[in-house]
Amino acid sequence: MEFFATHFAFLSSPEGWAAMVTLIAMEIVLGIDNLIFISILTNKLPAEHRARARRLGISAALIMRLILLATIAYIVGMTAPVFTAFGHAFSWRDLILIAGGLFLVWKATKEIHHTVDPVDHEDSTVGQAINISLGGAIFQILLLDLVFSVDSIITAVGMTDHLAIMYIAVIVAITVMMVAATPLANFIEKNPTIVMLALGFLLMIGMTLIADGFGFHVPKGYIYAAMGFSALVEGLNMLARRRR
């Protein structure tokens, strides 16, 4: 009883519930980026490996976030400057965001090129998909899981001091990702134009991570507003095509 009284005291106050609901919503929104990447990457695999790769990728995201929460003092220290260059003090968080952003930009650009000019890759597409089935695909998912996990946990630390709220928010957000992964991946696969839109999202997210790493913070609201508007326009295009 003493454990619950100490760690779950926030449940007795409206402010605690408000903080938990807000953080859950924020973690779910932050998970969209991760989920889009996982959906696009796993759709390139043979059909029999896709569900397993998605489960492994999302489970790894949960494990990474829980491990990072367990080392919360170290994670907070990752925002401390490590060195200064170009007039900006870089921390380990900045370096991780820049590396992840560069990877996302490279990956999105590569996939856009494959989509726009598939003739150059006809012979290698099938072999490439099989080769990355449980090796390269899982490695790439784990790499981006790490980047998004660090950003997610640091955001959580900035929003609340209650460790229990952080754990609850992370677990709920990952559960939502697990439920939404297959429907989202199927929707992307059945609507080819959505693939290009999703790749555009990844490109924008990658550039945002790089900018954030260099100290140019772009408010998340602007990013998600742009994504929402683009999705609305694409939805209208899909409706128009079906009506025709």
pLDDT along the chain (244 residues), means of 10: 50 70 79 82 83 86 82 72 82 84 85 71 43 70 80 72 80 88 84 80 85 83 83 86 81
Residue 48: the pLDDT is 82
The residue among 54, 36, 37, 34 whose CA lies nearest residue 152 is 34
Q: What is the pTM of this model?
A: 0.70
Backbone phi, psi, residue 17, to 5°: -65, -40
Asked whether residue 64 is domain-assigned, the answer is yes
Q: Classify residue 191: in a domain, yes or no.
A: yes
Q: What is the CA radius of gyration of the chain?
A: 19
Encoded tokens for 145: 């899981």
Identify the pLDDT of residue 208: 86
- pLDDT of amino acid 135: 73
Domain contains 4? no
Q: Is residue 5 part of a domain?
A: no
Asked if 61 and 177 count as a contact pair (C-beta separation under 8 A), the reply is yes
pLDDT at 240: 87
Q: For residues 218 and 208, is the Cβ–Cβ distance under 8 A?
A: yes
3 located within any domain: no
Contact 20, 10 (CB under 8 A): yes
Which pLDDT score, from 0 to 100, does residue 128 have? 43
Range of the domain at 145: 10-243
Q: How far apart are CA 178 and CA 45, in angstroms?
A: 18
Residue 237 resides in a domain: yes
Residue 61 forms part of a structural domain:
yes
Task: Tally the domains of the chain.
Answer: 1
Asked if residue 196 belongs to a domain, the reply is yes
Residue by residue, what is the 3-state secondary structure of the chain? CHHHHHHCHHHHCHHHHHHHHHHHHHHHHHHHHHHHHHHHHHCCCCHHHHHHHHHHHHHHHHHHHHHHHHCHHHHHHCCCEEEEECCEEEEHHHHHHHHHHHHHHHHHHHHHHHHHCHHHHHHHHHHHHHHHHHHHHHHHHHHHHHHHHHHHHHHHHHHCCCHHHHHHHHHHHHHHHHHHHHHHHHHHHHCHHHHHHHHHHHHHHHHHHHHHHCCCCCCHHHHHHHHHHHHHHHHHHHHHHHHC
* Residues 181, 56 contacting (CB under 8 angstroms): no
Quote the pLDDT of residue 12: 62
List the structure tokens of 28. Answer: 């779910």
First to last CA, the chain: 64
Between CA 198 and CA 187 the distance in angstroms is 11
CA angle (190 as vertex; 27, 124 as ends), nearest 5: 95
- Give residue 120's pLDDT: 55
